[in-house]
Amino acid sequence: MKPRVLIKIGGQAFEDEGGFKELATAIKYNPETEIIIVHGGGAEISQALKDANRETVFIDGTRVTQAEDIKIVENILSGTINQRIAFWLTKNGVPCRRMSGKTKHLFTVEPLTRKGQDLGYVGKITQVNAGIVLDTLKDGRVPVVSPISANDEGESHNVNADSAAAALAADAQCTDLAFITDVPGVLIDEQICRSLTIYEAKTLIAEGTISGGMVAKMESTFEALEKKVPRVHITQWQGPDTLQSIIEGECKNGTIIQTHDL
């Protein structure tokens, strides 16, 4: 089986076209590797909601998304950001197909709650149908996926992009899931931890060594590993060689998490 890597782009991992040009170079340099991209867009969503005089409320790190918000969120994720990523990659020689969790029922969701609290139009993935993604790979194109998804009634819901990436990586039988982030990896005493097992990571969370937003990313990491994705990487983009190190399962950049020791 060809290597199949799902890259989840988050934060300011790629600030401008230059970063995507490097990503395109890396993809073209590894023609035997199939690439899937899932993206978020929290900062741009927050700005768009602010511009619309909508208050942003988070419960346990999850954005409450009311009926008045979901159209704005969908326009930013499935429109602005998704289009931009696909355009820059295509411009630099990597053909893409734009899609969201709503495309061909890629993701089906139900309402997500936190501690019994209603979050509005926020979805928890209950079903994945990776067929549209796999067909796109067969066509030699890179799927660029917005996490906006729909419930059984076709209503749009906002889905955490890390959760969407983990679910898709498992259903598409990816060899690697890579979270490309603003931080260089899992930090312990300000040093990058090059490798972790699930047990070690859960211990560090319990001790409070891993905290904040990294805990949520670890939850998605555990989900992917428990669904048989062999390796999960948490790393910064550090040029075209970053993809090569992910494919080879090396620890040159960032942190690799696996079910058992490397």
Amino acid at 108: T
Confidence at 11, pLDDT banded by 50, 70, 90: low
What percentage of the chain exceeds 70 in pLDDT? Answer: 98
Per-residue confidence (pLDDT) for residue 189, from 0 to 100:
85
Mean pLDDT over the full length of the chain: 92
Kindly calculate the radius of gyration of the chain based on its CA atoms and give it in whole angstroms. Answer: 17
- Whole domain around residue 192: which residue ranges? 4-258
Phi, psi of 100 (to 5 degrees): -135, 180
Q: Which helix H or strand E contains 63, and what residues bound it?
A: strand 62-63
What would the two tokens of residue 237 be? Answer: 């983009």
CATH classification at residue 239: 3.40.1160.10
Cβ-proximal residues to 22 (8 Å cutoff; 6+ apart), any chain: 237, 239, 240
* Domains in the chain, number: 1
pLDDT tens string 31-48: 999 999 999 998 899 999
pLDDT over 90 percentage in the chain: 76
Q: What is the CB-side half-sphere exposure of residue 162 using CA atoms within 13 A?
A: 22
Cα of 223 vs its chain's centroid, Å: 13
Q: Give per-residue pLDDT as tens, 183-226.
A: 888 988 888 999 999 999 999 999 999 988 888 899 999 999 99
User: Which residues have CB under 8 Å from 237's CB, separation 6+?
Assistant: 13, 14, 19, 22, 23, 180
